[in-house]
Structure 1
Amino acid sequence: MNLLTLYYFVELARELHVTNTAQKLYISQQNLSQHIQRLEQHYGVSLFHRKPKLALTYEGEQLYAVAVKILAEEHEFMNRLADISANSIGSLKLGIPTYRGEICLPSILPQFYEKWPNISIELCGKSSSEMEEMLCSGELDLFIGVMYQDNPKLDSTPLLNDHIYMVCSDHLLKKYYPDTWSVLKNRSEQGTDLSGFSGLPFLLPHPSMKLRRTIDQCFLSSRVKPRIFLESQSTELFISLFPYDYGAFFCTQTRLPAFLSAYPEANAFPLTLKNELIGHRIVIASHKDRVLPQYAQDFISITKEVFAGIATVLPGRPRPFN
């Protein structure tokens, strides 16, 4: 049993699909299966149920919990050695949603690699909730995403209050509010609680998403039962459907510049709850009990500077956190 075998086991335990995991690891399915068989022989247990579909056994679940900790400790030790090494060769496991990475990483990475050219960065693009859990378990070094409340296990630095907007076209407003659309539009430019838009159809985030839970609070507060045309985990899908006027949708402020560049005629109304603008609290976080190498600390400092700059150019000019 070695660390590589444990790593292969953890990846298969997450994916629960031999073909996909082997492709991700750039090894053959036979090679992957041999590593798992060695582990099972070493411990004398079955780690996976093979039928009707691949799933962890109870013993597999126990090994997974331990293996994640072992690999996290080994990664932290390698990071400590990188601080000692004159060449500073190490790695940084960063959790960040793909679209948010597209916004900030082009500004962060050039500054970071100018100082730390030998540090490799491994990106994880799962949901904010999943990545927060991965940070707590030691599977990530840093996380840039949504945290509404501080986690006692984590050190978190607020970066930006990413305001939420309702997006729709004039054509959609005219269709459902032919007599009052212009009044409704003017009234909503500084903020809306959704009470005036009960007649519109909506394209909504999936109920499991943090953005959806926030939007549902607004609907509930306004006593509006939304007419749901479509639900999806992809805001990109909603953006692509905008020209067809299937319904209004919601997006965060950091997405607006690119969207409004493509559709300058679109309406983007800031969402309010109890007369207050609402948004996502974007933070950069690390684990309190893990020592961050200097390059990770520098990454945090650069990220704070970049987000302060992002805040000054967004529509509505939200204020960055101090």
Structure 2
Amino acid sequence: MCFFYNKKLVRPSFMIRGTIMTTNQLMFMYAVEEMSFSKAAQKAFVTQQCLSNHIHRLEVSCGVKLFERTPHLQLTEAGKTLYQSFIQIRDIEEGTLQKLKTDTSSIHGTIRFGTHLNRARIFLIDPFLEFHEKYPDVELDVYFIHSAYTEKVLDEGTADVILGANCTALANTRADRIGEEDIVFLASPDLLKERIPDWDESRKTLTRKELSMIPLTASSNISIMAQNLHRTMLKAGFESKYIFKIEDNNAQMAICKSGKAAMFCPENQLIKADLSCHSEISSSAKLQVLKLENYSDFMSIDLITSAQRNLPTYVTDFCSMIRTYYQDQIQKVRAEYLPWSNNQYYSEITLH
């Protein structure tokens, strides 16, 4: 006998409106989501023995073992296969329900979107406002994740789409490269003149020797950009001096505007950016956007999805809106700040 607590059953995050599952299957999905029978039972408002009995019956009906209980709870290969099948069923159902509706305003669903906090601020707000006008009942759930976990979260269905940098398409993923960016250098006029006495504000480049004279703010060394730059400076015989390290680009920009340090950043950080900065010389001073001489390092921007899943149309629509917004804004950045730019990537892809 199975005893349910006198509470409303909470729908797991993987379920959608209208999904039909047996109780055995539902308890299995709770267990996978929590990877703990006790936590899964609490979430489903049943006893742990009740949940365990349902999973046992599912194992018997499938003729396979779904979980290894020791040394800790984990899915067997058969369990992983069953879980992936349920995720695919969810995707097919979401897509089918959407196709049955001609009015997008009546479509319900959720987009599970993974990215870095800094990219979320730049890439998601304006596209989401456009998307929300078309799909008012589709929710956007954003998860902040590291690119190293891309394949895992896509396979598990934790995320439908990941917006990453310098991503490589893995066996079970699709990579849609929406752009490639220059790495640029930002510094206040006061800092440049303080550290480089003969500095000319009309210059657009910086030598490596001059760079070694300037204190920097940056993200931690796990950043691909930071690692590449560090190797370049060491190869040239110079050491960069970092005085403030933090993952938040807004904090880096604030330090840069104060005139205490300079920073490297990808082009996307200049999208709708306010470059006004503190200056003892001018009340209208702005950060200078420069390029490091003889340094060529591009960063790709990629939208990653699972190659094994059929995503609803509203997910692909949102990705298309992100692509269009991003490429339009990068063109504006290039026109305003990067006169030296010879990256033809955007002019080529916008023709298609």
Which category of TM-score, normalised to the shorter sequence, fits these structures?
A: 0.7 to 0.9
Matched, 1:216 2:230: yes
Cα deviation, 1:96-126, whole Å, max 9, x if unaligned, reads: 3333333333432244334333322221122
Greater Rg over alpha carbons, structure:
2
> What is the match of residue 321 of structure 2?
302
Structure 1 segment 1-322 matched on structure 2, within 5 A: 3=26, 6-7=29-30, 10=33, 31=42, 37=48, 41=52, 58-62=71-75, 66=80, 69=84, 72-73=87-88, 75-86=90-101, 87-131=106-150, 133-177=152-196, 179-180=197-198, 182-183=199-200, 186-187=202-203, 189=204, 191-192=205-206, 194-263=208-277, 264-271=285-292, 274-276=294-296, 278-314=297-333, 315-316=337-338, 319-320=345-346, 322=349
Which 5+ residue runs of structure 1 have no aligned equivalent? 14-21, 23-29, 45-55
Separation in 2 of the partners of 1:141 and 1:213? 29
Q: Does the CA contact (< 8 Å) of 2:113 and 2:141 recur in 1?
A: yes
Secondary structure of 1:301's aligned partner: helix
Superposition deviation, residue 206 in structure 1:
0.7
Change in CA separation of 1:114 and 1:228 when aligned onto 2, cut-off 3 Å: closer
Count of residues in Structure 1 that have an aligned counterpart in Structure 2: 291
Superposition deviation, residue 131 in structure 1:
4.0
Superposition deviation, residue 2 in structure 1:
5.9
Which 5+ residue runs of structure 2 have no aligned equivalent? 1-23, 57-68, 278-284
Alignment RMSD, CA only? Answer: 3.8
Q: Does the CA contact (< 8 Å) of 2:118 and 2:249 recur in 1?
A: no
Secondary structure of 2:73's aligned partner: helix
Separation in 1 of the partners of 2:47 and 2:299? 41
Separation in 1 of the partners of 2:50 and 2:244? 45
Q: Which has the larger share of helix? A: 1
Q: Structure 2: which amino acid aligns with 1:269?
A: L
> What is the match of residue 18 of structure 1?
none
Separation in 1 of the partners of 2:124 and 2:251? 22
Q: Structure 1: which amino acid aligns with 2:163?
A: I
TM-score under structure 1 normalisation?
0.72
Change in CA separation of 1:227 and 1:31 when aligned onto 2, cut-off 3 Å: same
Separation in 2 of the partners of 1:199 and 1:186? 19
Mean Cα displacement is larger for which, 85-94 or 199-208?
Answer: 85-94
Q: Does the CA contact (< 8 Å) of 2:180 and 2:301 recur in 1?
A: yes
Q: Does the CA contact (< 8 Å) of 2:185 and 2:289 recur in 1?
A: yes
Q: Which fold has the larger relative contact order, with Cα–Cα distance below 8 Å and residues 6 or more apart in sequence?
A: 1
